[in-house]
Amino acid sequence: MTPFTVTPLADALGAEISGVDLSAPLAPDVIDAIRHAWDTHLVLRFRGQTLSDPQLLAFTRHFGELDPPGPNPYGKPFLAEFPEINVISNIKKDGMPVGNLGDGEAVWHCDMTYIDTPPRAALLYSLRIPPSGGDTYWSNMYLAWDTLPGDLKKQIDGKRAIHDATYNSAGMMRKGMKEVTDPREAPGAHHPLVIRHPDTRRPALYLGRRRNSYIVGMDLDESNALLDALWSHATQPQFTFRQVWRVGDLIMWDNRCTLHRRDAFDPNASREMHRTQIKGGIVTPYETADMVS
């Protein structure tokens, strides 16, 4: 019997887990059951939590090795005492941002796919939220692959795309980067467009981020047209779950089979989240021989 209640949050993905206090030590069977629910629903939400930074780190460690945040535009960790925690916030103290991503929209993406071994998962814990706006959305990339029209499946068979490292999802340039004028020359990892999830073994569409993406070996215009078709398919509302935040929500998502984005919010309001992530491995392709046309 599952030691908590699991309630789906949307048809495509997402489930609420109730009856677990994440600040307390958790028994191995509870962690196993969370893992199982996570593989099934891809995004899990725990409401009404009260977590210190060490408790957030301890909960994250149950699912793998901590992965420090990627470089932010300011060049140093936001929390000197806990460099494994990323702060997502528009708040400024003495004129300096206390966190990343500001108050604008964060476009659809998966995290840090510009490196060869992107994080397998991320956890986001809400400390302060604006009265409205700042909602976050996830999209299910298993479903995106399963429902992709056969001609598009064929066109991406065996292909890889460049995952540009230059900009974050809020459009800010990462420290040390230069503007990219030709996506074919963008710095960043080359990943398969269809991957095999290492745990569930299911195929998933793997898009990363649209800006400066390029399908290796294609004519640039053809690559852009194909990427536009893939992105508009993958982000259709029926594949998504929308999170309207409350203080004390903790959301954990699988970064290998989901995309996420965030709405903009009022710059005069304050939003603050603490975020951890879990180390991943090399991204493996879904082999051509496995392709279903």
Q: State the nearest-atom distance from the C-beta of 222 to ligand SIN, in Å.
A: 30
Closest to ligand SIN by CB, 133 vs 192, is 133
x-or-dash pattern for ligand SIN, window 162-181, by CB under 6 A? -------x------------
- Distance, CA of 104 to CA of 253 (rounded, Å): 22
CA angle, residues 17, 23, 26, in degrees to nearest 5: 70
Taking alpha carbons only, the member of 85, 136, 162 closest to residue 245 is: 136
63-102 burial, b at 16+ Cβ within 10 Å, e below that, comes to beebbebbebbeeebbeeebebbbbbbbbeeeeebebbbb
- Distance, CA of 252 to CA of 61 (rounded, Å): 13
Hey, which residues between 82 and 101 contact ligand SIN (CB under 6 A)? 88, 101
- Distance, CA of 193 to CA of 145 (rounded, Å): 10
Closest to ligand SIN by CB, 72 vs 212, is 72
Hey, which residues between 107 and 146 contact ligand SIN (CB under 6 A)? 136
Q: Is 49 in the site for ligand SIN (CB under 6 A)?
A: no
Closest to ligand SIN by CB, 114 vs 286, is 114
Q: Is 260 in the site for ligand SIN (CB under 6 A)?
A: yes
Q: Is 262 in the site for ligand SIN (CB under 6 A)?
A: yes
Q: Is 255 in the site for ligand SIN (CB under 6 A)?
A: no
Contact set with ligand SIN (CB under 6 A): 88, 101, 106, 136, 169, 260, 262, 273
